[in-house]
């Protein structure tokens, strides 16, 4: 393993120095491909965690301000958006003011 790693590092150094040997590029490509394949499960897990976190934020309403900004930019680009603190205060007032019961 150590000799192979040393050979790959030498290949990378040769590429950086401007060597134009086809086997150097092939070895480097194989090494990069093996690294990419080794990291694929981690990348998949990271994407799964990111999507799960986005779903949790969406369900809890935590991403409401970001969605408000996106809506504001798309539909009302000429009007300034509320600051985050003012937007949350407005949302709380809208949620809890008035009668909130069925009967």
| pTM for the full predicted model | 0.53
Cα(49)–Cα(100) distance, integer angstroms: 36
Q: What is the DSSP letter of 82?
A: P
pLDDT at position 76 is 93
Q: Is pLDDT larger for residue 44 or for residue 69? A: 69
How would you write 39-60 as a 3-class SS string?
Answer: HHHHHHHHHHHHHHHHHHHHHH
Dihedral angle of Cα 44, 49, 50, 53, to the nearest 10 degrees? 160
pLDDT at position 85 is 96
Where do the structural domains in the chain lie, given as residue ranges? 1-60, 63-95
Phi, psi of 7 (to 5 degrees): -65, -40
pLDDT at position 61 is 87
pLDDT tens string 2-58: 666 677 667 766 666 665 665 656 666 677 777 777 777 877 888 899 999 999 999
């Amino acid at each position: 393993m150590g000799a192979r790693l040393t050979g790959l590092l030498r290949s990378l150094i040769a590429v950086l120095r401007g060597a134009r040997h086809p086997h150097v590029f092939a070895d480097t490509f194989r090494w990069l491909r093996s690294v990419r394949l080794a990291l694929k499960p981690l990348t998949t897990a990271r994407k799964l965690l990111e999507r799960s976190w986005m779903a949790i934020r969406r369900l809890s309403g935590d991403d409401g301000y970001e969605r408000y900004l996106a809506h504001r930019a798309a539909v009302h680009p000429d009007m300034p958006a509320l600051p985050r603190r003012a937007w949350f205060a407005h949302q709380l007032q809208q949620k809890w003011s008035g009668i909130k019961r069925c009967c």
